Structure 1
């Protein structure tokens, strides 16, 4: 493994840890589905880190995007 590959793996690991923190903070109704999706990304990271990084990007974007009907204004 080249040194550059190791740096990319470290970055992916940091991003996966951050995603884990965010999943833990979700309400129970959303946590189970998000946790299953997160675990599938972790499993993929073992075999294909580049594809896992792309799926992680999409996952984090989905976590950032408010769902339809969700109150985002604090009312």
Structure 2
């Protein structure tokens, strides 16, 4: 049962990451901001390999920030 839950969470995180990448690509923001967001997504992707629940929480926070218009500073 635990493995089934882990697989479901993995599928959910993978789908959310895909959507987040598409959202970042579509944003009308300076290139530095886009790069910062892309780096955050790459870090979350890497974290998912080692700590899936933490990666899911980090992704949820990032998506909430995007929805609320809070972006990291660019280079």
**TM-score calculated relative to the size of structure 2:** 0.79
Partner of 1:12: 13
Unaligned 5+ segments in structure 1 are: 68-75
Partner of 2:3: 2
Counterpart Cα distance in 2 of 1:54 and 1:22: 18
C-alpha RMSD of matched pairs (Å): 1.5
1:35 aligns with 2:23: no
Question: Is the radius of gyration larger for structure 1 or structure 2?
Answer: 1
**TM-score calculated relative to the size of structure 1:** 0.79
Of structures 1 and 2, the one scoring higher in RCO (CA 8 A, sep 6+) is: 2
